[in-house]
Structure 1
């Protein structure tokens, strides 16, 4: 009885969590007349993809460019962040590194005490990162939280492997690339998911630092189209191939396009996620 009740509650919770996504998808591929009359819930009515053809083919909206920018920022930013985090964690996990505890303390200090918006803006402006694609990649390249997880994971790798490699004549680079890197797949996949989601969902950084609209990621495009802080873009009711396209359809399609690509990250990293989190947080 208890198990059946528990399963029912889990199913209900899953439905509550999934319903908004299904509703947005259904609205985006439904006929506008069915949407405006409140007939669309889980399933599309008057199924069509004309709304997606419109939003992706309309350069005035900038959605295609925004998606390209977000994919570029996410892929390049994640690769840079994972590489720098792994190399830094490797160095800090080696007992032969003098002052490693002091260096780690500096990372912790910057994690606990932030400089604030104005000093950060002045520093980034001096470095030439304002209105540059690098602002989405470099400033957040090393997360102290993920650095701690990666360092703890590397600390848990038996030291005998390192000693054997040194005896065989391996140098530091060979040690890093041929021994520790292949063994670190779980934690690398884990921190990669965190970095990718963070960069994809980044809103405040591009809002503050990217004035050039050709550099805006999809989140800013979504903000401009849905929230309309400066009057935004006004949508007209359209009829394409017998299907009505209303502002509700366009907004739903834009929201779905801003959510859907990042969902692909989880299936590839799911099998490593739990192992990487547990080993990286509980050992060391």
Structure 2
């Protein structure tokens, strides 16, 4: 009868034998792989090139830009354009950048708070009329009244030329409300029941159970609200008439108008021996409007799949 116990020979072979993965043959590269890589690489170049070109123009001397010498890399590198923007109050770039930061922070905090509290209330079956309330949210989401009725309502509320126009009307997104509600409903109800038995009230259950478990969805909707407020253009263009209240996107639009805006009508200037032209100013302002999102978005992107998809799977 054969002894099934491991012999010294088999132990030695198990130690010296290389893993099977090393002996597996790699799949040969096919024509589809080459084509797929080429297409994806081309798309990446098309997406990255505008950013590199804007960076190159903002860091180049005006003479090189006028002579079309800037293709990808900056020519005669200098930071005089950024120095000119940061020290010129007439342009208002620094003021508008601070306005955008304040609007984004305040709008995100208010929107996340209202969205989560509304979703928490609508996720409870004991709330009377919760289906009707949710239906009203969906109806107003699908059938938008338009710009003119919204302007009449906001004007009647005194929100024209008021910084609160960047916070209150954009506070709750129905799409993000649905995502948050689905996430909260996926949390086991047994946790709430056990806490209620121990004597916890609704505020204690919300603060000690639901909020700690809802960090992924809170981070997700915070990203969406922050990007939405930062990139908001039409809303402040219509309602914020005072230049001191306008965000960076509106100031960038006024810079792109060029000669159509007499307040920003400039041709060129010399700064420390370097020529600064309108193209330099516009490119540098674009970087001020783009870079904060580029720095923030990839860092928080890891919350997206968990924050959105977890609430969609229940059972």
Instruction: Verify same fold: TM over 0.5.
Output: yes
Q: How much is the aligned-residue C-alpha RMSD, in angstroms?
A: 1.6
Q: Hey, what's the Cα distance between the residues in 2 that align with 1:234 and 1:281? A: 52
Q: Hey, what's the Cα distance between the residues in 1 that align with 2:99 and 2:87? A: 16
1:162 maps onto 2:192 in alignment: yes
Contact 2:195 2:205 in 1 (8 A): yes
Contact 2:92 2:251 in 1 (8 A): yes
- Mean CA deviation greater in 226-235 or 185-194: 226-235
The alignment partner of 2:264 has SS state of coil
Contact 2:233 2:249 in 1 (8 A): yes
Instruction: Report the counterpart of residue 270 of structure 2 in structure 1.
Output: 239
Contact 2:62 2:275 in 1 (8 A): yes
Instruction: Report the counterpart of residue 258 of structure 1 in structure 2.
Output: 289
Give the alignment's TM-score, normalised by structure 2: 0.86
Instruction: Report the counterpart of residue 20 of structure 2 in structure 1.
Output: none
Q: Hey, what's the Cα distance between the residues in 1 that align with 2:127 and 2:186? A: 17
Query: What per-residue deviation string (whole Å, max 9, x for no partner) do you get for residues 71-124 of structure 1?
Result: 100111011101100010011011111111111001011111222323222221
Query: What per-residue deviation string (whole Å, max 9, x for no partner) do you get for residues 31-61 of structure 1?
Result: 1111111121221111111100101210000
Higher Rg of the two aligned structures = 2
Q: CA deviation at 1:232?
A: 5.2
**1:189 alignment partner, one of 190, 215, 219:** 219
Q: Hey, what's the Cα distance between the residues in 1 that align with 2:276 and 2:58? A: 9
- Mean CA deviation greater in 187-196 or 116-125: 116-125
1:141-152 equivalences under 5 Å are 141-152=171-182
Segments of 5+ residues of structure 1 without an aligned counterpart are none
Instruction: Report the counterpart of residue 79 of structure 2 in structure 1.
Output: 49
Q: Hey, what's the Cα distance between the residues in 1 that align with 2:312 and 2:79? A: 45
The alignment partner of 1:95 has SS state of coil
Instruction: Report the counterpart of residue 146 of structure 2 in structure 1.
Output: 116
Instruction: Report the counterpart of residue 211 of structure 1 in structure 2.
Output: 241
Q: CA deviation at 1:11?
A: 2.1
Contact 2:219 2:303 in 1 (8 A): yes
Q: Hey, what's the Cα distance between the residues in 2 that align with 1:240 and 1:57? A: 12
Q: Hey, what's the Cα distance between the residues in 2 that align with 1:236 and 1:262? A: 30
Q: Hey, what's the Cα distance between the residues in 2 that align with 1:83 and 1:283? A: 24
- Mean CA deviation greater in 264-273 or 182-191: 264-273
Instruction: Report the counterpart of residue 82 of structure 1 in structure 2.
Output: 112
Q: CA deviation at 1:5?
A: 3.2
Q: CA deviation at 1:161?
A: 1.2
Instruction: Report the counterpart of residue 101 of structure 1 in structure 2.
Output: 131
The alignment partner of 2:119 has SS state of helix
Instruction: Report the counterpart of residue 12 of structure 2 in structure 1.
Output: none
Contact 2:84 2:271 in 1 (8 A): no
Contact 2:186 2:313 in 1 (8 A): no
Instruction: Report the counterpart of residue 126 of structure 1 in structure 2.
Output: 156
Q: Hey, what's the Cα distance between the residues in 1 that align with 2:262 and 2:270? A: 24
Contact 1:225 1:232 in 2 (8 A): no
Looking at both structures, which has the greater relative contact order when contacts are Cα pairs under 8 Å and sequence separation is at least 6?
Answer: 1
